[in-house]
């Protein structure tokens, strides 16, 4: 009987305890309720904004108008040529790799002599250089000159074609270096047509959004609510309201695969490309006579390890290769269900890609411009090459090229040196067309002027 009484007394106490526990738990839950203002858009912005940067450029303009000089010389025989002056521009960009690589529009940095970058989350200003660029897609990859070991917050790339018409999108930038700028809208239209080979990307190939693309936001990211990069802001239609454009992530990835070729690693030839944006990285092309081709690597091989480490990105992959570029590089790849060990020994690119290769392909001797020679032509040393010889009966001879002609571009690209020119020609098979943009110096009265033109020839 005593036990029954004690049990009956315990039950109310247990109930009271449960009520108290429930009360404290409920209060705790109420206290932990998330702020309704921090919706998916706010969280995506918080995630992405540390990757957004402001880009300021300086371009030195060398003024040279022979007709103006002629008239000035007539009225004032003691006049001097106008000194160079600087032109400034602003834009935005977004970090895509923790090592300090960032994306922007090519038109933001095109022909810039100096590039300064400031992160939206800090006050430090970094000098940057153009690591690679593609005028046709209007995409440029920059590299920050950072302290050794310094890491940056990188944005995550969305999957190709992972786009929903009408989904909420955010356009970010850092115009004028005053801090992050954000506008919100929807994806009004996906890329409508695929670009044709050799043609520049334009409105029909871009994403359309009604999120405002503010002045200075060119090169900034267009992101979805997961904080993933789906495009690079490129333009706004000034004739209308609520019509902005961005380069789709698919085109960005394609451009990166072209302009940051992993088959060349810090002056060494590897000979295989990996597809950007995949995890693990997958080999997309292998050059047959290259070190990669001779080692047995094939298209579709998934790269699991490089010298015992797993590459985190396509940029990290090239860095891992570069650490032992002069020695044997050990790769672990997955081919179907089979795991393979592959050894590759990279070779110096100048041993393969040189003046001799250019001569074999076109019958043309090209030399880099010296500062003195460039000054004589009124151009920059980086603006092209000079023809120093033409082989009789060669494609160059058929195109009527001769000594003294400037070659300013090869198939629309101006490589930085003879090695770069040879790389462009290496991919040309026998019988394929090559277009050279040229400039010929001609005498006009008391002045020399450059006449621009283009010639086509067939590789041999």
In sequence order, the 6+-apart residues with CB closer than 8 A to the CB of 249 are: 157, 158, 160, 229, 230, 231
The answer to whether 161 is a known catalytic residue is no
Q: How many CB atoms lie within 10 A of CB 403?
A: 10
The answer to whether 27 is a known catalytic residue is no
CB distance 320 to 309 below 8 Å: yes
Of the listed 92, 191, 218, 295, which one is catalytic? 218
Q: What are the tokens at 254?
A: 């394609």
Distance, in Å, from the CA atom of 107 to the CA atom of 127, rounded to the nearest integer, reads 18
- DSSP one-letter string for 130-163: EEEEETTTTEEEEEE---TT-----PEEPPTT--
Distance, in Å, from the CA atom of 382 to the CA atom of 371, rounded to the nearest integer, reads 9
Bridge partners (DSSP) listed for residue 91: 55
Of the listed 89, 107, 121, 383, which one is catalytic? 107
CA atoms within 13 A on the CB side of 312: 8
Ramachandran area for residue 100 (φ above 0: left; ψ -120 to 50: alpha; else beta): left
Bridge partners (DSSP) listed for residue 344: 329
Distance, in Å, from the CA atom of 106 to the CA atom of 285, rounded to the nearest integer, reads 25
Of the listed 97, 106, 134, 138, which one is catalytic? 138
Q: What are the tokens at 337?
A: 């269900």
- Angstrom CA distances, 372 to 67, 369, 379, 418, 449, stand at 23, 8, 10, 18, 17
The answer to whether 39 is a known catalytic residue is no
CB distance 51 to 94 below 8 Å: yes
Q: Cα–chain-centroid distance for residue 295?
A: 29
Q: What are the tokens at 60?
A: 């030195």
Catalytic center residues: 107, 138, 218
């Amino acid at each position: 009987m005593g036990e029954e009484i004690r049990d009956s007394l315990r039950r109310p106490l247990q109930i009271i305890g449960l009520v108290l526990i429930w009360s404290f738990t409920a209060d705790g839950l109420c206290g932990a309720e998330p702020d309704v203002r921090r919706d998916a858009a706010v969280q995506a912005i918080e995630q992405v904004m540390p990757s957004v940067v402001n880009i300021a450029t300086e371009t030195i303009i060398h003024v040279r108008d022979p007709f103006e000089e002629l008239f000035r010389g007539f009225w004032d025989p003691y006049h001097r040529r106008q000194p160079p002056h600087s032109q400034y521009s602003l834009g935005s960009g977004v970090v895509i790799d923790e090592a300090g690589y960032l994306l922007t529009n090519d038109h933001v940095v095109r022909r810039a002599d100096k590039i300064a970058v400031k992160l939206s989350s800090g006050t430090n200003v970094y000098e940057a250089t153009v690591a690679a660029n593609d005028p046709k897609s209007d995409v440029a990859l920059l590299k920050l000159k950072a302290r050794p070991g310094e890491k940056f917050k990188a944005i995550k790339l969305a999957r190709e074609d992972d786009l929903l018409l009408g989904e909420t999108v955010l356009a970010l930038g850092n115009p004028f270096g005053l801090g992050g700028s954000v506008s919100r809208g929807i994806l009004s239209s996906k890329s409508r047509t695929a670009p044709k080979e050799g043609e520049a990307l334009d409105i029909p190939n871009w994403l359309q959004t009604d999120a405002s693309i503010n002045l200075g936001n060119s090169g900034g990211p267009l992101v979805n609510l997961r904080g993933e990069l789906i495009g690079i802001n490129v333009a706004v239609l000034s004739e209308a309201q609520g019509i902005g454009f961005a380069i789709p992530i698919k085109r960005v990835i394609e451009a990166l695969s072209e302009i940051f070729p992993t088959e060349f690693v810090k002056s060494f030839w590897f000979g295989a490309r990996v597809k950007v944006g995949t995890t693990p990285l997958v080999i997309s092309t292998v050059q047959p006579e290259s070190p990669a081709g001779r080692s047995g690597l094939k298209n579709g091989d998934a790269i699991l390890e490089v010298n015992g480490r797993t590459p985190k990105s396509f940029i990290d992959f090239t860095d891992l290769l570069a650490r032992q570029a002069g020695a044997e590089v050990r790769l672990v790849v997955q081919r179907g269900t089979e795991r393979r060990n592959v050894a590759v020994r990279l070779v110096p690119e100048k041993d393969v890609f040189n003046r001799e290769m250019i001569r074999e392909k076109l019958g043309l001797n090209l030399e880099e411009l010296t500062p003195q020679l460039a000054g004589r032509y009124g151009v920059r040393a980086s603006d092209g090459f000079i023809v120093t010889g033409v082989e009789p009966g060669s494609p160059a001879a058929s195109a009527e090229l001769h000594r003294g002609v400037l070659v300013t571009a090869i198939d629309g690209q101006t490589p930085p040196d003879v090695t770069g020119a040879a790389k462009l020609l290496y991919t040309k098979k026998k019988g394929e067309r090559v277009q050279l943009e040229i400039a010929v110096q001609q005498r006009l009265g008391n002045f020399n002027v450059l006449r621009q033109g283009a010639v086509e020839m067939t590789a041999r």
